[in-house]
Structure 1
Amino acid sequence: MSNGLVIAAVDGSEHSLRALEWARTAALRHGAGLLVAHVLPEATQLYAGRRSALHDPNEPEEYADPVGDRVRAILEASPERPAEIRYEALEGSVPAALRVISGEGSPRMLVMGSRGRGGFAALLLGSNSRAVATTASCPVVVVPHAGRDAAADPAGEAAGASAGKVVLGLHVTETPEDVLSFAFAEAAARGTTVQVVSAYAIPPGPANVLGGPFAVIPPEALADEGDSVPAEREMLRAQTRRLEGVRGRYPDVPVEQAAEPGNAAGRLVEASRSAALVVVGRHHPRVRSLLIGSVAHAVLQHAHGPVAVVPALTDEDAEL
């Protein structure tokens, strides 16, 4: 994984300032620098273009940047700051500008709020957040607004099973290796467990119905047949085989495994109530379109906590 900067995309809204705090702590956790980026409002961009075109010496060279000023004040008042902090004002549309900066210098991740300034209050995920998560060249972490926390129920079985862990949504044959590496790197930096969730297609047996308790299994327990259905047991073994490489690179990261009948999106959303981070792949590595995968889309729309959407970052992933 990259040792590059953590990018925080801000627009001055409370949603983006929540993401800024998440990015600040992520940069500290990884010993990385922090780049705070915001796209200038259209009026400011028009002013800058007019001044440049007219070359009017009577116009002030500097224009007001209240977002940049506010962010600087917030970070200066923080109890701890990354060793390197940079600020950058961008021009263009929000998705296009952030897509460009996400491809410069191999950043570790880009962090943004689930909804920006001016978004519809009823929407859980704004159009800019969805567009950036779909097209950025680096992993994108979407931090939900504070209102989503009210829906969390840490006492629930599914949520409690994931408390403080990094939850990885894994398709054993399609998820790019970079997605696995990102999840394990996050868990290693946090000193926590990776909880791996996969789906299997065969309908579950009576003892393992959809919506039942969210059971997680440590890898050593797979030696026993237990009472799980054959399809679940085979999926867990397939997980184990797929995880061998990344577990070798992160031997100190504990792993739990879970198999879900049907679609894993619902379990990932439930896990997001208390997980430190939910990590999903953007789409199949062979699909070079602007369509985000169905699981990633569902988790982004309904998650109660931060979600990392990770693209295929290396050529090797395209060969999976």
Structure 2
Amino acid sequence: MSNPPVIAAVDGSDHSLRALEWARTAALSRGTGLLVAHVLPDVSQLYAGRRSSLHDPNEPARFADPVGDYVRGVLEAAPALPPEVRYEALEGSVPEALRVIAAEAAPMMLVMGSRGRGGFATLLLGSNSRAVATTATCPVVVVPHADRDAPGGAPADGAPGTYSHGADPHGTAPPAAGASAGRVVLGLHAAETPEDVLLFAFAEAAARGTTVQVVSAYAVPPGPTLIVDSPFQVIPPEALADDGDAVPAEREMLRAQTERLAPLRSRYPQVPVEQAAVPGDAAGRLVDASRSAALVVVGRHHPRRRSLLMGSVANAVLQHAHGPVAVVPALHPDEDS
């Protein structure tokens, strides 16, 4: 594939087929190829190893791969396919096999379901999905299972300190992925989020023809009265030019956002931008926004902390989001954000 492909990880489960549909649509919107990757079950891997070690010419050269055959049938029934579709049967553990193919193919993104055939019915995030999202060298999009779909509703314009640049979005999310049509939501720490995370969010919004809503959280100072889930306050752009009535921390956060987003606005002038400064819990606000978002984009962890653990915000959003979540690593960790 000449351009970086979109990889869809499948295991034949309904969850992975939702991810496959999301990946198919993403590849179409980006004009790139689709690589469908399936890690063979243990029994098939044992058979392949036995045949290789015995060199038995009487054994059939191809072992049964019902998942591969099933997925090919699903794709053949799709209304449209990317310019190139390739299928790869992998061996090894699921996380390691997917990490290897992601490193080799250098994909635009790797898409997988929030859980596969294993686990129990109420499991929010499977171990394989968590492991791949934590360690892959490319952005990983996790598509939640149907039980976590939001019951529909209008996009949430009411974030504290929200103001917009440009027209309302008219983007379209893949229907089988469970996300309603809406904006791309970007969780941003203005001083720490790597540039790769911002670039991914804006590129995805440009491909979808929709808006980027940027959500940043600021600390709430302790006080005698704490108002939880207070009504959203909307701040128009002109309010930033004077004293206004905004909380000082909101105003400072919006200013920091504006400065950080300036290069992205220049690079993607066709992408409308909405900015939101929210008190306290960034993860909770992002989960709320996921109810009407086409995609929520978060950074994997702090770029200057060489930890193998996923950041708390990314982990919480993956666990509870109602729509697809993209976890983006620092692809160029040696560069300053």
Assess same fold via TM > 0.5: yes
- Please give the alpha-carbon distance, in whole angstroms, between the structure 2 residues aligned to 1:101 and 1:218: 46
Report the Cα offset of residue 284 of structure 1.
Answer: 0.8
**5+ residue gaps, structure 1:** none
Contact 2:185 2:215 in 1 (8 A): yes
Question: The residue matched to 1:104 in structure 2 has which SS?
Answer: helix
Q: Which moved more, 1:262-271 or 1:214-223?
A: 214-223
Aligned equivalent of 1:251: 269
- Please give the alpha-carbon distance, in whole angstroms, between the structure 2 residues aligned to 1:274 and 1:206: 34
Question: The residue matched to 1:199 in structure 2 has which SS?
Answer: strand
Aligned equivalent of 1:181: 199
Report the Cα offset of residue 247 of structure 1.
Answer: 1.4
Q: Percent of counterpart pairs with the same letter?
A: 77
AA aligned opposite 1:52: S
- Please give the alpha-carbon distance, in whole angstroms, between the structure 2 residues aligned to 1:85 and 1:58: 32
- Please give the alpha-carbon distance, in whole angstroms, between the structure 2 residues aligned to 1:204 and 1:268: 23
Aligned equivalent of 1:77: 77
- Please give the alpha-carbon distance, in whole angstroms, between the structure 1 residues aligned to 2:49 and 2:236: 59
Could you say if the C-alpha distance between residues 259 and 141 of structure 1 is closer, same or farther in structure 2, counting changes exceeding 3 Å? same
Cα deviations by residue, 1:286-317 (Å, 9 ceiling, x for unpaired):
12222000000000000000000000012454
Could you say if the C-alpha distance between residues 294 and 51 of structure 1 is closer, same or farther in structure 2, counting changes exceeding 3 Å? same
Contact 2:155 2:292 in 1 (8 A): no
Question: The residue matched to 1:240 in structure 2 has which SS?
Answer: helix
Question: The residue matched to 1:61 in structure 2 has which SS?
Answer: coil
Could you say if the C-alpha distance between residues 241 and 3 of structure 1 is closer, same or farther in structure 2, counting changes exceeding 3 Å? farther
Aligned equivalent of 2:291: 273
- Please give the alpha-carbon distance, in whole angstroms, between the structure 2 residues aligned to 1:244 and 1:136: 29
Question: The residue matched to 1:252 in structure 2 has which SS?
Answer: coil
Contact 1:169 1:196 in 2 (8 A): yes
Q: Which moved more, 1:254-263 or 1:207-216?
A: 207-216
Report the Cα offset of residue 58 of structure 1.
Answer: 1.6
Report the Cα offset of residue 183 of structure 1.
Answer: 0.2
Contact 1:9 1:38 in 2 (8 A): yes
Could you say if the C-alpha distance between residues 159 and 113 of structure 1 is closer, same or farther in structure 2, counting changes exceeding 3 Å? farther
Report the Cα offset of residue 222 of structure 1.
Answer: 2.7
What is the root-mean-square deviation in Å for CA atoms of aligned residues? 2.4
- Please give the alpha-carbon distance, in whole angstroms, between the structure 2 residues aligned to 1:179 and 1:251: 18
Question: The residue matched to 2:204 in structure 1 has which SS?
Answer: helix
Aligned equivalent of 1:146: 146
TM-score (norm 2): 0.88
Cα deviations by residue, 1:249-271 (Å, 9 ceiling, x for unpaired):
11111111111111210000000
**5+ residue gaps, structure 2:** 163-168, 170-180
Q: Which has the higher helix share?
A: 1
- Please give the alpha-carbon distance, in whole angstroms, between the structure 1 residues aligned to 2:236 and 2:225: 19
Aligned equivalent of 1:116: 116
What are the residue-to-residue correspondences of 1:21-170 with 2, within 5 Å?
Answer: 21-149=21-149, 151-154=150-153, 157=156, 164-170=182-188
- Please give the alpha-carbon distance, in whole angstroms, between the structure 2 residues aligned to 1:106 and 1:119: 29
Aligned residues: 317
Question: The residue matched to 2:105 in structure 1 has which SS?
Answer: coil
